[in-house]
Amino acid sequence: MAYEVDKTEEEWKRELNPFEYHVLREAGTEPPFTGEYTDTKTTGVYQCRACGAELFRSETKFESHCGWPSFYDPADSSAVELLEDRSHGMVRTEVRCARCGSHLGHVFRGEGYPTPTDERYCINSVSLRLVPEEG
């Protein structure tokens, strides 16, 4: 798929540190309960760490106790791309940034969380950058 932000892998490697590159460009996963934003309650906007696109807002972040930041809805439905992921012997739905194609995490449905969508966007902290709301 062609993305608005289109860079070579060498360009991504120059711009991202090795761990960011592994998660964002190679669909890696950070270990649970280690991410910068797992327990953050700061009000603001979560952007893609690779390209700066607005992905999630703090109002949709909730405590799922799964080890990664969880959101029940993206900031805009066109901000993320959802793809079938059959890796690791299971079928999941991968979440990518729609602007640059970077891997963010996975979305799970029907788990019974008391949220408006009954969805859990389980997102790697290293895929995000929080821009705190001013004021």
The set of catalytic residues is: 122
CA distance 77 to 36: 24
Residue type, 28: G
Judged by DSSP in three states, 58 sits in: helix
Burial class (CB in 10 A: 0-12, 13-18, 19+), 103: buried
Q: 86 CB contacts (<8 Å, ≥6 apart)?
A: none
